[in-house]
Amino acid sequence: MFHRGSASRNTSGELTPLSGHHLIEQMEKYHVLGPVANIYSYHLFMVPVEQKRTGRQCSWIVAFACAIVTVNLVMQFALLAIVGPHVVEKNVNIISSIRQQSEKPWYEGVMMSFRGSDRPKEEKCRDSRSLCYPHGGGITCAPPSIQVLGSWDLLDTDKDGIWSRSEAADEEHRGHMQCHYNVDVLVLFDDIIADIKAHPRLKGRIHSNLTHGTSVHKAYFDWYLGEPMLCLYGDQDMCGTLFSRGFFDGALTSPGLSAASERGIGEFQSARDYCSKLLSGRCDDLLPSTYRVWKVTSLEKCGSKSFEPFLYDPPDHSPRQWMLQVLYDSQEEYSKVYSWAFRIFLAVLMFTFFATMLEEANAIYLVFRWVLECPDVDGAKAHSFHRFAVLAVNLVRGALFLLLLYSGAIFLTEDTRYLHLIFDALSLNFIINIDELLYAALLRKQMKEEHEELPACFMERQRNESINIIALEFMRLGCLILCTLFVAYSHVTGTMETIREALQCVCSVEGPTCYEAFTYSSAWWERYWAVTLPASVARIGDIVQSEK
């Protein structure tokens, strides 16, 4: 696909129009379309030469040239038709499965137009495939049920301090919650009722409304809330991280007497056992089935684990303990996109790809010029039918160019691993150079030599007196560099940043945009152990006493 070289003499030894001119003057005066080692060039040059030599419109060489250019177009189109949509859909699925976007990515909109789809309607409900969703100025990545449990006002719609079955069963409200949170609040209501009733530490303190399954007082809800909020972390290997963040400090200090009686947490070892048992199995029974789906999906997205040891100093004056803090592979992969090494690597790949595509665009343009001006090929005038055939082939070639430019730009920005990106680049190079590979494999040596020895075609260029050709080449190089930097920067700060923030939130519940990270911080847990839990225990006692 690269058009290289030009001849200064034709095969008969006569000087070409470029001979005797300075190189820059030659470049400013003429477009040069010379024979090069690819199928398109062979079809364009050899058909008129063969027709002049044989005096016939069709011969075996003409038929062969038409056949191999057809095979080439079919192969390139088949590969791009399969790979292009696959690349786009894969990229869309990677992003949408992690984070629901308020706006469609540019490449998804282009693909929908390419397929002739109707304009997408505005989505009013959450995409159930995603782990994270926009929330205020940030994102929320908690399991759907925990997102709902985090806001009492979403459940107690009449604001009377009691969540009743009639509120949970209201069809309009139930549909609204299903749409916006992917949660069936009636199922959630029944699960909470069942768990509170069965909890051994509430034995003898159950209100009759709970026994009959009709309502839940906020005091019971606050008592229950601590365990689901720990379930937010999904994996028992996160326990070390929770201790390092101080989530259990309030339960291990003297105000945490209620933690000892209500959760069985009296000292460091009991707190660690409690965390491990909760996250390893109890959370699956505590919450609706959507939690298990979220847990499996999130662990899959977070990837393999690695661990860093740290020394924890319990606030209950227990001996210092070595614990493990978990790190996830996917987080580390997407964090490296901010390194200069990765940015330079990506920019080099993108620059090479865009430079190759620019050369292909120039080759397509020169063929259109040839069709328009139809200069002789080695003294042979091209037949009108051949001009039409070259035009048709070049139109298809142009369409393939656009599709390859579109899918290739996405293909080179869908991964963060160096070797994978190298293999992606090699795959693109294979598709781009099929016409050269077929030329090298299917044509005999004598056929190639005859084709490559043909003189170039010269087409006069409209001269620009205000700027010379070298300045234009510098401008083209500058535009190529700017385009590469823009795409690489936009990709890193746009798509990659979006995925990195989402993975940071869903895997380890941290990050400046993660709603759960700053809402349920160590301060929230300090207040829960010291204030919320003791207050709920006192109110539960009052509620039970008033019923007697």
84's enclosing H/E stretch is: helix 60-98
Q: What is the pLDDT of residue 255?
A: 63
**Residue 465 domain-assigned (yes or no):** no
3-state DSSP of 326-378 = EEEHHHHHHHHHHCHHHHHHHHHHHHHHHHHHHHHHHHHHHHHHHHHHCCCEC
Q: Which amino acid makes up residue 312?
A: Y
Among candidate residues 47, 41, 74, 81, the one with its CA nearest the CA of residue 62? 47
Q: Tens-of-pLDDT digits for all 548 residues of the chain?
A: 333 333 444 444 444 444 444 666 666 677 788 898 999 999 998 888 888 888 787 888 889 989 999 999 999 888 888 877 777 777 777 777 787 765 555 455 444 544 444 444 444 677 777 888 888 888 999 999 999 999 999 999 999 999 999 999 999 999 999 988 889 999 999 999 999 998 888 888 898 999 999 999 999 999 999 999 999 998 899 999 999 999 999 888 866 777 778 888 888 889 999 999 999 888 988 888 889 999 999 988 888 999 999 999 888 777 888 999 999 988 888 877 777 888 888 888 889 889 988 999 999 999 999 998 888 888 888 888 889 999 999 999 999 898 888 888 888 877 777 777 788 788 888 888 888 999 999 898 999 888 888 988 888 877 665 667 777 788 889 888 988 888 888 777 777 888 888 899 999 999 889 999 999 999 999 999 989 999 999 999 999 888 76
**Residue 147 domain-assigned (yes or no):** yes
Q: What is the pLDDT of residue 122?
A: 47
Per the structure, the complete domain to which residue 139 belongs is given by 135-328+499-547
Q: What is the pLDDT of residue 247?
A: 92
Q: What is the pLDDT of residue 472?
A: 79
Phi, psi values for residue 290, rounded to 5°: -60, -25
CA pair distance 528, 472, nearest whole angstrom: 68
Phi, psi values for residue 518, rounded to 5°: -95, -15
CA pair distance 249, 297, nearest whole angstrom: 30
Packing angle of the helix pair 533-547, 218-231 (nearest 10 deg): 140
Q: What is the pLDDT of residue 373?
A: 86
**Residue 212 domain-assigned (yes or no):** yes
**Residue 5 domain-assigned (yes or no):** no
**Residue 24 domain-assigned (yes or no):** no
CA angle 228, 231, 235 (to 5 degrees): 170
Helix/strand/coil for 453: coil
Phi, psi values for residue 142, rounded to 5°: -70, 160
Q: What is the pLDDT of residue 423?
A: 82
- Two tokens at 308? 């860093």
**Residue 484 domain-assigned (yes or no):** no
For residues 435 and 37, the answer to whether their CB atoms sit within 8 Å is: no
Q: What is the pLDDT of residue 20?
A: 41
Tokens 């049920």 appear where?
Answer: 145
**Residue 151 domain-assigned (yes or no):** yes
Write the DSSP assignment of 509-540 as a string of letters. Answer: S-STTBHHHHHSSHHHHHHIIIIIHHHHHHHH
**Residue 540 domain-assigned (yes or no):** yes
Q: Which amino acid makes up residue 214?
A: T
Q: What is the pLDDT of residue 14?
A: 43
Q: How many CB atoms lie under 10 A from the CB of residue 504?
A: 23
Q: What is the pLDDT of residue 267?
A: 86
Q: Total domain count for the chain? A: 1
Q: What is the pLDDT of residue 31?
A: 79
Q: Per-residue b/e over 5-20, b at no fewer than 16 CB within 10 Å?
A: ebbeeeeeeeebebee
CA pair distance 117, 229, nearest whole angstrom: 42
Among candidate residues 332, 338, 334, 281, the one with its CA nearest the CA of residue 306? 332
Tokens 């088949």 appear where?
Answer: 78
